[in-house]
Amino acid sequence: MRVVFDAYEWRARVFPAVIVSLPVVIALWSALLWKDITVGGGTASGLVSLAIIYALSTVVRSNGVRLQQELFKKWGAHPSTIVLRWRDKTLGNDLKAKYRRAVVSTLKLPIPTEREESENPADADKLIAQAFDRIRGVLRDEDADGLWATHNADYGFHRNLMGSRVLWLSVSVVGVLVSGILVYLQPTKTAASGLVANFGIVAGCLYMGWSTLPRGLEESAFQYALAAWESFLVLSKRGSS
């Protein structure tokens, strides 16, 4: 089982998992800090916290992939396909033509003309998606640290966290309840601080999950698509020079 995360996974999987698990971790450490914690107890608690985060990193990715499928249906296609359609106005036709010529010259793949797209939009989308699948491989091999990778990780973060927003809210509510019980049983400053922190997380979850994340997700998805196409164009020019 691989436990070492690369830069993308830290941003897209681990960070959302930390955010989702934070209420439980806060409650756990509030309980432990009632009294003097032993070295063994602290080590065990640290390992438990890491195990929770690691387990949730898999869950949040699964939730994100499920949400992504729903979003692509809602948007009509992957953003990388949408921005290259002749009928889409995100990019100018001259730039889209350059991207399309790069696909033909570099990848030797067919790409639909404006007439072909108007006659059969579904088939045109399939050809663009097929090309972009190859482009992703080219970018990973030849431009792994390019700007597209930063946008891809940002998109992964937004997608996975938004896909897990219900789980995040549920965990936050549980964190408030546990922290409230701790305060009731032994009202210490540590327990009270944990309760206040978890109330703040619930408020932050409601605001981010249903207000800022949806906007950020769509923006980051299209930024990734634009950056990937541009990076591929630069690579294709470099290869032909």
* Residue 2 counted as domain residue: no
Q: How far apart are CA 117 and CA 192, in angstroms?
A: 62
The per-residue pLDDT for 35 is: 56
* Residue 184 counted as domain residue: yes
The per-residue pLDDT for 2 is: 47
The per-residue pLDDT for 52 is: 85
The per-residue pLDDT for 160 is: 97
Span between the terminal Cα atoms of the chain, in Å: 43
Positive or negative: CA dihedral 5, 8, 13, 15: positive
Q: What is the count of structural domains for the chain? A: 1
Spell out the residues 6+ positions from residue 84 whose beta carbon is closer than 8 angstroms to its own.
91, 96, 99, 100, 128, 229
* Residue 125 counted as domain residue: yes
| pLDDT mean across residues, the chain | 91
* Residue 121 counted as domain residue: yes
The per-residue pLDDT for 41 is: 53
Range of the domain at 24: 7-240
* Residue 54 counted as domain residue: yes
| Per-residue model confidence as pLDDT tens digits over 29-47 | 777 765 555 555 556 666 7
Packed helices 165-185 and 147-163: angle between N→C axes, nearest 10 degrees: 60
* Residue 1 counted as domain residue: no
| Per-residue model confidence as pLDDT tens digits over 57-71 | 999 999 999 999 999
91-98, Cβ contacts within 8 angstroms, sequence gap of 24 or more? 91/226, 98/233
* Residue 215 counted as domain residue: yes
Quickly tell me which residue has 């579904």 as its tokens: 122
* Residue 203 counted as domain residue: yes
Model confidence pTM above 0.85: yes
Given a cut of 50, is residue 3 above it in pLDDT?
no
| Per-residue model confidence as pLDDT tens digits over 142-196 | 999 999 999 999 999 999 999 999 999 999 999 999 999 988 988 888 889 999 9
Given a cut of 70, is residue 4 above it in pLDDT?
no
Given a cut of 50, is residue 1 above it in pLDDT?
no
Average pLDDT over residues 191-217: 95
| Per-residue model confidence as pLDDT tens digits over 86-131 | 999 999 999 999 999 999 999 999 999 999 999 999 999 999 999 9
